Structure 1
């Protein structure tokens, strides 16, 4: 923390000097009719300095060295503008800018704007020290979605992203559980989860569970790059999920916003934000408070988020930045249900003394340096200092709470890492080529304390009166990686990418595994080091300006996690001989727009997962069933992902004074099955041999379809969405009949609808309202083997919300 305070003092001291500078370039950005243009980007070419025009079209650049510069101005729908100028020390120079319309781009932009809410896009071929060309990717633009952002409603947020499966058992919105292509949604652990490009999970190589999700009111967009992201972000099968927070406002010294939400079950959320730019400095800060009683009995949540970002242009070529994020939560967990309890009343809860808490602190320092207009480097240093705490009666859900001493489990995470990326462009074959290289170091430590004997109280109390835990493990993990990827453009239509990633992972696990009759049982210390190489290829062929074929192949790797090595303190049993998993992702697709009113992205995918780690229902000699976590051989997920968006009114009439209708369909058909794998179980004292071949992968619905319609008129829009999700199995044995503890059995298909509306009143006020689960569907997406279960974890029924926003 001393480092944090020191940096803030440094920032304040330098800000006084920065604000005192008088060197200014200012002016007004207008169109050909003299109307002011808001949001134009104004940059000094070859530097890190830039601002945006404000509501009146005014801009102001301060405190940059005297000299001669090239001023660049750009905005979608207008032709780029540039002009050379000179400025002396202390000079105040005025330079007005006239932007001319680009008829083609403006037409497409106007059509897009008229169509209301377009929450789905894709990344440019090269951007922000990364290569996206040839990769299956989506950009979810949060501001353009009618959704319950106060609750981070995943079903609405990911509605337009094909193939995303969601565990809907945390109605508070604190934790996110999503996956794709037959992978497990367990706290999004198959994705490399980042925020502004750096890690926010405890350990991507040892414990990648996402206990922290930033408030979506401050998220500008969510970037998803499917499995082919491994070359630049890590070996994960799922790929990258990056939350990009709102950047400092470059058009004003100070702006503020307050968004307040009330809703069903005592929901109250207040989000407050400030930001701005002054000379060499820009900044943002937010605070969110969210609390509610939850939809089920014995449910409660109270969470606080805070974030600060400060950036400083130390010179024309060097930009420094600092971010820190803090979250603390207090959550009462209703626990799971048996199948009979769920059918009787899915809102009920038999666990009144279960609590969960995740204090989370994430600091980050960044630097960006421009060696030249073609070569630049980025450096990020980041860390996570966090906890995962739970207390409660954690026995199987068919056992009644005896109101005795509860079980306390506590994890302490201390991680830090650094990543350097170099971007360079050069000319070859008469085309501009791009080379991206990088080096990454990461070190993480997990201090795991489980099965402590807590109090018999009902409140959130993590104290252990005897001061001891029967399980005390220490897990450390270090990772060194290097990658390189190049875009080769052969002509204006065809490009291909080639890349390589070298990984070295060193893991250690030791400590006390159990306490039997007062005698500690220690693990044999395990130290595992492995080095491997990942390869990837991609290609794009542009049929026209807005339509392209794309394909890619990328290898993947999943190390054994600490959670794989230790059961969740209830019903699971772990295979002591677990091995790392490996495999690859492949995509082949067509995306773009045939005309401005129709966008699409359709593709075939194949995910090969070797030595997959999963759970399988086994029978003991007494006939009781338990879940066994082991390597289940190979699995293959393949299928179709498609997204189509159509505006029939624009297609027929081009324009309408009665509003516009935007229709979308997000479709995924997934065949995720196991290969040849023989298993033996004991049933009624008899050894029974079976084979997993052809069994469906657990937690992998065969269909994930979502449909929606948005009506927009001026500043008003309303969106209806239907989610149609197929059935899934909770274990690799594809057990249909549930066991008594409700940890295995079928997860039925379901359909759920959402309705949301927004109205921007003037430019400073906004109203949003909606109904989630419009028809009050009773369903569940998960059977939990451990906390926050065990048992069936019901999704929320019908809820309402109302949001009022104010900017000034």
Structure 2
């Protein structure tokens, strides 16, 4: 924390010090009624220099070299305007602009007035050194959603995104568990999880579980690209999930915002943000503190988040930046419940000594350089220095805590990587084409220490007892090289196609002590793997009207063998020496767009093929002994329908309203995720029985994921009601209905849960938010955990409420 504070202070001092100004361009932007245009983007074409107009419509650009420029003004509801000009050394010029004559059609402007409650968009064709055309994608504008952001309520945040399944077993808001299309929501590991475009997981190719989630109060938007992102980001079946943090305010030297939240169960959260722009410098920083007792017994949490970002325009073509993010957590884990315990009292807990903590530090250095009017470069170098620590009594929930020494497990992550991207436009077939390409290097190291003896206390303590050792002590290293290229071919104003490839090279090695038996070390045979593979992708997009389009995309996917696959859970287990990585592909076909300014929609069919799934079966050795054999067992296929529609009836029938606007949305998904030829073996009284689960539903994959909502907005007030209607699922591939005694397998029942949230702004600076989550106090669960943080049923939170009071300067 001291390091973050010191670096931030140095940058602020540098940015506010005396600098010899080269020149100044300033002015005021108003509409045809002489009202200030707030938030207009004002930038110099072909450079990295840009600002926004402030609440009075004023803008100012400082410290750029003399020369000839084109000033570009962009604002939703208006056509872009360009103004050529020349400026000399140390010269000051003033351009006062009126955008009224460039106003678009009235209904489009009315749409911009009422669209503030539409928190879902799609990405533009080309944006931020990437190609998005022809892809199934969503942009969740977090700031436009009425939700319990202080607690990272994922049910509300992803409410408009079709097909997102959520594990709601972490009421603290520390970890996010989401997935789509029948994939596992476990810490979102099937997604390529990034923040501001760089990795934040321990190792995307070796241990991709997302222990870090940024506070949603500072997330500007969440970008989701379904499986087709494998070409430009990584081979994950789920695709990309990128958290874009709030950028420095470009209209002021200094902006400050404070949001303070209280709720039941002792909830208190304070979020404080500052940022601004001065000349060539801009900066942003936040700090969040969140503490509470949780909805369940033994559910205490205490978290701290801090982030600093500083950018500097070194020249008209070069922008440099540095970011640092720090998180520390203290989380008490209530553990799981049996079915009988859950039905009797879902709030209860029989584990009072289980604790979890994930200190996380993520530094990053970034640079953007404009080579020419048609070509730009982006470079990001980043690292993760983090831990995963747990201590507790983690035996089956049917066993009573013996109050003895607790099991202690610790992971230490040291990773770093770098990505260089280029995007360029060129002419072909009489049209402008776009090529995106890049290279990547990643080096990850995981020091895994497990099955150690912690103390017999009740508080969080990750120290071994005196003379204690970790029975398991493994080192896992992973080196990844990648290169990609993808091109948009525009054949006409209506039709385009995309084609691309990604080359991956992965080297991984694991070695160390697997166990200690009778005082003797059991060493793990070194597991070393090198593989190279090529992924291909094709897409197309046809614009049926000026606002609607058909899209289709095919992209291969890849799931490498992970550290957990190479680590047998018992000494008698055997790993297939020919264990293969999983391969497959995603396919999407859909129709999306808008009708007028009152209806938005995106409906699509998807098909996900997941081949060579990794699992374990029982085998009999030559001597008649039975052992567990981990190998590639078979394939699964997920297919179905995803649909999203949002309708504004007042704009549709009345165009405008003096009593406010109403938006109605539906996010619908039908997911049929089933296993193919998947061999299983059961052992009873020493007798092996062969079977097959072909046609069984994939575990943790509800067939129905539907969410509905209604938002009312009047001036600076809005309120949203949301209903989540989720179908039943199974906890295991055998589709077991009746639960076992330990509650680790069995049916996960369907459920419905409602949320109500509202917000209001007064005098443009005072903020009030409030809401009730799980309005009807539904008792439900989304997960049966086979191990930590269970085992057993992991109940979701019952009814909770929150109240937020904020100030913005």
| Deviation larger for 242-251 or 593-602 | 593-602
**CA shift for structure 1 position 627:** 10
**CA shift for structure 1 position 481:** 0.2
Cα distance change, pair 109–237 in 1 and its aligned pair in 2 (3 A): farther
Q: Specify the alignment match of 2:222 in structure 1.
A: 222
Between the two proteins, the alignment pairs up a number of residues equal to 802
Counterpart secondary structure, 2:232:
helix
CA contact (8 A) 1:616 1:731 kept: no
**CA shift for structure 1 position 655:** 2.2
Question: Which whole-Å CA distance do the structure 2 matches of 1:712 and 1:765 have between them?
Answer: 17
**CA shift for structure 1 position 436:** 0.5
CA contact (8 A) 2:69 2:86 kept: yes
Gaps of 5+ in 1: 620-625
**CA shift for structure 1 position 790:** 0.8
Cα distance change, pair 199–101 in 1 and its aligned pair in 2 (3 A): farther
- Cα RMSD of the aligned pairs, angstroms, is 2.2
CA contact (8 A) 2:499 2:537 kept: yes
Question: Which whole-Å CA distance do the structure 2 matches of 1:700 and 1:745 have between them?
Answer: 13
CA contact (8 A) 2:683 2:689 kept: yes
| Deviation larger for 757-766 or 217-226 | 757-766
Over residues 54-74 of structure 1, what are the superposed CA-to-partner deviations in whole Å (9 max), with x where a residue is unaligned?
A: 000101101011112111111
Q: Specify the alignment match of 2:249 in structure 1.
A: 249
CA contact (8 A) 2:38 2:54 kept: yes
Q: Specify the alignment match of 2:707 in structure 1.
A: 706
**CA shift for structure 1 position 560:** 1.1
Counterpart secondary structure, 2:37:
coil
Q: Specify the alignment match of 1:689 in structure 2.
A: 690
**CA shift for structure 1 position 316:** 0.5
Question: Which whole-Å CA distance do the structure 2 matches of 1:98 and 1:552 have between them?
Answer: 43
Question: Which whole-Å CA distance do the structure 2 matches of 1:598 and 1:6 have between them?
Answer: 49
Q: Specify the alignment match of 1:622 in structure 2.
A: none
**CA shift for structure 1 position 785:** 1.2
Q: Specify the alignment match of 2:438 in structure 1.
A: 438
Over residues 132-187 of structure 1, what are the superposed CA-to-partner deviations in whole Å (9 max), with x where a residue is unaligned?
A: 00000000001110000000000000000000000000011110000000000000
Q: Specify the alignment match of 1:631 in structure 2.
A: 632
Question: Which whole-Å CA distance do the structure 2 matches of 1:200 and 1:262 have between them?
Answer: 29
CA contact (8 A) 2:681 2:691 kept: yes
| Deviation larger for 592-601 or 416-425 | 592-601
| Deviation larger for 705-714 or 412-421 | 705-714
Cα distance change, pair 572–138 in 1 and its aligned pair in 2 (3 A): farther
**CA shift for structure 1 position 32:** 2.1
CA contact (8 A) 1:259 1:272 kept: yes
Matched, 1:136 2:136: yes
Counterpart secondary structure, 1:612:
strand
Cα distance change, pair 557–3 in 1 and its aligned pair in 2 (3 A): farther
Query: How high is the TM-score relative to the length of structure 2?
Result: 0.96
Counterpart secondary structure, 2:719:
strand
Q: Which aligned pairs between 1:117-196 and structure 2 lie closer than 5 A?
A: 117-196=117-196
**CA shift for structure 1 position 654:** 2.0
Cα distance change, pair 617–80 in 1 and its aligned pair in 2 (3 A): farther
Question: Which whole-Å CA distance do the structure 1 matches of 2:661 and 2:294 have between them?
Answer: 36
Counterpart secondary structure, 2:39:
coil
Q: Specify the alignment match of 2:278 in structure 1.
A: 278
Matched, 1:792 2:761: no
Cα distance change, pair 152–4 in 1 and its aligned pair in 2 (3 A): closer
Question: Which whole-Å CA distance do the structure 2 matches of 1:745 and 1:737 have between them?
Answer: 5
Q: Specify the alignment match of 1:343 in structure 2.
A: 343
**CA shift for structure 1 position 13:** 7.3
Question: Which whole-Å CA distance do the structure 1 matches of 2:9 and 2:288 have between them?
Answer: 24
Question: Which whole-Å CA distance do the structure 1 matches of 2:587 and 2:428 have between them?
Answer: 28
Question: Which whole-Å CA distance do the structure 2 matches of 1:579 and 1:797 have between them?
Answer: 43
Q: Which aligned pairs between 1:404-483 and structure 2 lie closer than 5 A?
A: 404-465=404-465, 466-483=467-484
**CA shift for structure 1 position 745:** 1.1
Question: Which whole-Å CA distance do the structure 1 matches of 2:596 and 2:3 have between them?
Answer: 53
Over residues 573-623 of structure 1, what are the superposed CA-to-partner deviations in whole Å (9 max), with x where a residue is unaligned?
A: 78555431000000000000122211100000000000123578999xxxx
Counterpart secondary structure, 2:634:
coil
CA contact (8 A) 2:557 2:584 kept: yes
Question: Which whole-Å CA distance do the structure 2 matches of 1:773 and 1:572 have between them?
Answer: 46
Over residues 416-467 of structure 1, what are the superposed CA-to-partner deviations in whole Å (9 max), with x where a residue is unaligned?
A: 0000001100111121110001000000000000011010000000000224
**CA shift for structure 1 position 687:** 2.5
Q: Specify the alignment match of 2:262 in structure 1.
A: 262
Q: Specify the alignment match of 1:669 in structure 2.
A: 670
Cα distance change, pair 425–779 in 1 and its aligned pair in 2 (3 A): same
CA contact (8 A) 1:572 1:785 kept: no
Question: Which whole-Å CA distance do the structure 1 matches of 2:582 and 2:440 have between them?
Answer: 22
**CA shift for structure 1 position 15:** 3.4
Q: Specify the alignment match of 2:624 in structure 1.
A: none
CA contact (8 A) 2:22 2:65 kept: no
Question: Which whole-Å CA distance do the structure 1 matches of 2:364 and 2:331 have between them?
Answer: 27
**CA shift for structure 1 position 711:** 1.3
Matched, 1:726 2:759: no
Q: Which aligned pairs between 1:595-634 and structure 2 lie closer than 5 A?
A: 595-613=596-614, 631-634=632-635
Cα distance change, pair 806–618 in 1 and its aligned pair in 2 (3 A): farther
Q: Which aligned pairs between 1:288-307 and structure 2 lie closer than 5 A?
A: 288-307=288-307
Q: Which aligned pairs between 1:296-695 and structure 2 lie closer than 5 A?
A: 296-465=296-465, 466-566=467-567, 578-613=579-614, 631-695=632-696
Question: Which whole-Å CA distance do the structure 1 matches of 2:796 and 2:169 have between them?
Answer: 5
Question: Which whole-Å CA distance do the structure 2 matches of 1:12 and 1:702 have between them?
Answer: 52
Over residues 370-414 of structure 1, what are the superposed CA-to-partner deviations in whole Å (9 max), with x where a residue is unaligned?
A: 011100100000000000000000111110000000010000000
Counterpart secondary structure, 1:564:
helix
**CA shift for structure 1 position 561:** 1.0
CA contact (8 A) 2:527 2:566 kept: no
Cα distance change, pair 635–105 in 1 and its aligned pair in 2 (3 A): farther
CA contact (8 A) 2:8 2:308 kept: no
Counterpart secondary structure, 1:306:
strand
Cα distance change, pair 540–572 in 1 and its aligned pair in 2 (3 A): farther
Question: Which whole-Å CA distance do the structure 2 matches of 1:67 and 1:680 have between them?
Answer: 76
Query: How high is the TM-score relative to the length of structure 1?
Result: 0.96
Question: Which whole-Å CA distance do the structure 2 matches of 1:371 and 1:214 have between them?
Answer: 33
Q: Specify the alignment match of 1:715 in structure 2.
A: 716
Q: Specify the alignment match of 2:623 in structure 1.
A: none
Over residues 227-283 of structure 1, what are the superposed CA-to-partner deviations in whole Å (9 max), with x where a residue is unaligned?
A: 000000010000000000000000010010000100010000000000000000000
Question: Which whole-Å CA distance do the structure 2 matches of 1:449 and 1:679 have between them?
Answer: 32
**CA shift for structure 1 position 107:** 2.2
Q: Which aligned pairs between 1:44-123 and structure 2 lie closer than 5 A?
A: 44-100=44-100, 102-104=102-104, 107-114=107-114, 117-123=117-123
Question: Which whole-Å CA distance do the structure 2 matches of 1:711 and 1:494 have between them?
Answer: 38
Cα distance change, pair 568–152 in 1 and its aligned pair in 2 (3 A): farther
Counterpart secondary structure, 2:695:
coil
Over residues 517-538 of structure 1, what are the superposed CA-to-partner deviations in whole Å (9 max), with x where a residue is unaligned?
A: 2211111001000000000000
Cα distance change, pair 89–332 in 1 and its aligned pair in 2 (3 A): same
CA contact (8 A) 1:166 1:179 kept: yes
Over residues 81-114 of structure 1, what are the superposed CA-to-partner deviations in whole Å (9 max), with x where a residue is unaligned?
A: 2112222222222121121355545522422532
Question: Which whole-Å CA distance do the structure 2 matches of 1:682 and 1:158 have between them?
Answer: 42
**CA shift for structure 1 position 5:** 9.4
Q: Specify the alignment match of 1:623 in structure 2.
A: none
CA contact (8 A) 1:433 1:489 kept: yes
Counterpart secondary structure, 1:160:
coil
Q: Specify the alignment match of 1:764 in structure 2.
A: 765
**CA shift for structure 1 position 19:** 4.0
Question: Which whole-Å CA distance do the structure 1 matches of 2:331 and 2:158 have between them?
Answer: 24
